[in-house]
Structure 1
Amino acid sequence: MSRTLPVAALVTVFSFLNSCAEERSSNWYLNGTQTQVGIQPNGSIRVNGQAFFPFGFYHISWADEGTAGQRLNDLNTIANAGFNVMLTEPIKDTNQEMLPLLKLAEQKKLFILAHNVQPTSVKLLAQQPSLLGFTLMDDSNYNSSPAVVARLQDTYKSLAPHKLTSITLAVASDRPESGFFGVSDSVSNMSYPIGGTDELGVIYQVMRQTVKESQARGVVPLASLQTFAWPQRRWPSGPELRNMTFQAVMAGIKGIAYYSYRSDGNLITDHPDLWDTAQSMAQQVRQLSPSLLNGERRELKPDGQNPSLLAVEFLGPSARYLIALNTSSQAQAFGMTLSDTRTLRPLFSDSGMVFNSGRLKGTMGPLAVQVYEVN
């Protein structure tokens, strides 16, 4: 089975100067009439020569008697809200539904990652610029085996070698599912703790495991995060979604898809606080994405051994960011020495922590996230 994309030139053929120039930029929206997808050695996606951080939604289009027309309306809403990718599947007829969807997505500069597309339709859909690629299988570690996924990978790559392939998994530190890494271009790890059995702080650890497994096999680590309610359970709050999103970002994930925009009994726009937070996350991650995609990630250690407090730096080619986070629903005292830092400029919000003489200290509120630009 080949894991080589025909656009390997995106990694190897560019001259040194061009590579350096490209590392200083990233693309958020669909741009251009062709879509050539490659994978960087650092585990990020590259589209048409630029680093790309997918950030969007799963859309279960058939849920609650959904229609193809309804999906087109939802695509407009998702694109207008600043997201750059939508994951969906045919409701009834693949070609009849998916071609108009891909055409509208091209107009709206949104990428589509298609699921449950049979091989007979792959070549036709792959001609559309808005098609990012194909999800080979959902819940792969519960529904299948690495060998079966590998055969699917061979089939889809033979038909559309310049498109991304992806699978979803439930990966945890005690169940790393290592065999499923390397049989597709990307792996999306699912973590949905609100109303389930996990604590909210589990996101960081399970996504770190995903990143480590991905790095070992040269694939792209993605995150699927919760924007739905389990049956008879509550919805995530806006602060919880922001916290989960930044936990995944801090773990080194190279793309995020919220599950879901629409699914059985769930429509995120019915929950304004959650929908507003999701939109603000798209704006904030877009600003940070060049450093998230191309920068060096460095874990920092706040004072003490408080497992609720996390701190990570991203040293990008043109910007350096520090993210501090509290996974607890209780306020926590925070302190950390930053000996090589002169100034910290709060972004997006200001927690009121003080930076003086190389020390950052104060109190992080419940579920607080603080992002700084570092100088």
Structure 2
Amino acid sequence: MRRTVPALLALSLGLMSCMQAPTPQPSTAAQTADTAGSAPADTQTAAPSESAQALRPPSLVPGTYGQQVSVQNAGLRVGNQGLFPFGFYHVSWMSDAATRQRDMQEMSAAGFNTMTASVINDADNARYGEFLDAAARARMYVLSEGVFESSVPKLASKPAVLGWMVADDCNLQYTPAQVRDRGARMRSLDPQHPTYAALFTSYAESHSDFFDTTHMMGNMSYPIGPGDSIGATYDMQRLSVGLSKKNGTVPVANLQAFSWGTVPGHDASDPAARMPTPAEVYNMTYQAIGAGVRGILYYTYLDSYSNVRRSPAVWEMTKSIVPEIAQLSPMLLSAEPKYLETNNGNVHATAWAYQGHTYLLLTNVSATQAQPLYVPLADQAPTGLRPLFAGRGGEGVRLSGTTLGGTIAPLGAHFFRIN
């Protein structure tokens, strides 16, 4: 899907240089006392009956908000804390400045920590810093697109700047060398922040030559409508994670929160071209988590033909995932995923060893059939099966000795602590 800023806003990026992890300087933003991102993931992995007793919910916004942003070990760091970007695309040039600011505040109020945003026109470019200041007050990070080159050095000190989006649908519109040049040009204007690009791709095509062109690489998974299985999400993000790890880039999943039926050129009467259901959104989110991504941006909060707020059930589902990702993110950013054998192509199992415990994620990518489970866990030495999140199902999962059995419901996605 093309989400390209109009030509008058396009950056003329053409300088070649080697891509290096950014080494930003601390901003002058006031520091807060929040501790988000530093608390161990398992400190809030109580059984569901205990979860409501937490003193305060976890936050996706690090207490080091506004400090230097860097890329380390294929993940983002803000100062000395990890950051798992979790939020939405916002195709701002298809709207107006007031809508962009309103939507940013709504995303922040819902607990998301990251959005993409774009300059709308010449006049907006001159005032874009005001939007970034408002985002900082809301403690929202922004990946900006279409900012005029002359403005980049002046905006680089803004605490809300997470990085710069230099190419979209890049495998459709650019060669790897062109994306690399655009990223290098942006780094010459602001050497302190990461660059970001996104692929339009299928799960069968890795486009590996793009994964060393920017510091962060998005990979789109929009299977509801065009004919792909929902399970394409896991396959595609596994490819992305492997290639990102090889190149030291941050793998970001771009996940579907729109209907293909609203996209120009697609058949709106096709019943398959629909909005994902809340269950599908939840399942795709955890497929991406199980694949090992280090960030998730849903497409889209807003563009000219789609607005997630017009689908309240999907919006509420994404909001409900925020505290779960906040709880999991310290583990996801520091522990390596281990992909387990399931002997079932519809079931994926991923384990993480973190702070003396082992955590297990199961996903069923079949939308219609419960799947039998057979997951050997001898290496994980399980001592019990404790759900992390209340109300997310998983009652059919059973631990027998060192083997996980039972069944997982259609589109089931369940996190457990197993020792």
Residue 39 (structure 1) aligned to one of 52, 71, 74:
71
Offset at residue 23 of structure 1 (A): 10
Which deviates more, 232-241 or 329-338? 329-338
CA contact (8 A) 1:68 1:97 kept: no
Counterparts of 2:353 and 2:25, CA distance in 1:
26
Counterparts of 2:247 and 2:65, CA distance in 1:
31
Matched, 1:155 2:185: yes
CA offsets 1:87-142 (integer angstroms, 9 cap, x no match): 01011134344212111111111101001122111111111000101000101111
Offset at residue 31 of structure 1 (A): 4.3
Equivalenced residues, count: 360
Mapping of residues 191-206 of structure 1, within 5 Å: 191-206=221-236
1:15 corresponds in structure 2 to none
CA offsets 1:238-290 (integer angstroms, 9 cap, x no match): 00000100011111110000000111221111212101110112221111111
Mapping of residues 348-363 of structure 1, within 5 Å: 348=389, 349-352=392-395, 353-363=397-407
What TM-score do you get using the length of structure 2 for normalisation? Answer: 0.81
Question: Could you say what the CA RMSD is over the residues aligned between the two structures, in angstroms?
Answer: 2.2
CA offsets 1:162-197 (integer angstroms, 9 cap, x no match): 111011113445422121111111110011001112
Which deviates more, 286-295 or 169-178? 169-178
Greater than 6 Å deviation, 4+ residue runs: 21-27
1:347 corresponds in structure 2 to 388
User: CA 1:6–1:111 in 2, change beyond 3 Å: closer, same or farther?
Assistant: closer
Which deviates more, 338-347 or 173-182? 173-182
User: CA 1:9–1:362 in 2, change beyond 3 Å: closer, same or farther?
Assistant: farther
* Higher RCO structure (Cα 8 Å, ≥6 apart): 2
SS of the residue 2:374 aligns to: strand
User: CA 1:336–1:178 in 2, change beyond 3 Å: closer, same or farther?
Assistant: closer
CA contact (8 A) 1:31 1:109 kept: no
What TM-score do you get using the length of structure 1 for normalisation? Answer: 0.90
CA contact (8 A) 1:295 1:317 kept: no
SS of the residue 1:266 aligns to: coil
Matched, 1:242 2:258: no
Matched, 1:140 2:170: yes
CA contact (8 A) 2:24 2:191 kept: no
1:259 corresponds in structure 2 to 299
The one-letter code matched in structure 2 to 1:35 is Q
Q: Equivalent pairs: percent with the same residue?
A: 33
1:4 corresponds in structure 2 to 20
SS of the residue 2:351 aligns to: strand
1:14 corresponds in structure 2 to none
Counterparts of 1:86 and 1:173, CA distance in 2:
24
Counterparts of 1:149 and 1:323, CA distance in 2:
35
The one-letter code matched in structure 2 to 1:47 is V
Counterparts of 1:61 and 1:309, CA distance in 2:
38
The one-letter code matched in structure 1 to 2:394 is S
SS of the residue 1:72 aligns to: helix
Matched, 1:85 2:114: yes
1:166 corresponds in structure 2 to 196
User: CA 1:23–1:33 in 2, change beyond 3 Å: closer, same or farther?
Assistant: closer
Counterparts of 2:66 and 2:406, CA distance in 1:
50
The one-letter code matched in structure 1 to 2:413 is V
CA contact (8 A) 1:291 1:319 kept: no
Which deviates more, 186-195 or 97-106? 97-106
1:57 corresponds in structure 2 to 88
SS of the residue 2:382 aligns to: coil
The one-letter code matched in structure 1 to 2:322 is A
Offset at residue 145 of structure 1 (A): 1.1
1:73 corresponds in structure 2 to 102
SS of the residue 2:89 aligns to: strand
User: CA 1:88–1:172 in 2, change beyond 3 Å: closer, same or farther?
Assistant: same
SS of the residue 1:205 aligns to: helix
CA contact (8 A) 1:227 1:259 kept: yes
SS of the residue 1:221 aligns to: strand
Give unpaired runs (5+ residues) of structure 2: 1-16, 27-36, 42-57, 262-267
Offset at residue 8 of structure 1 (A): 8.3
CA offsets 1:332-357 (integer angstroms, 9 cap, x no match): 12232323110121122232122232
CA contact (8 A) 2:362 2:414 kept: yes
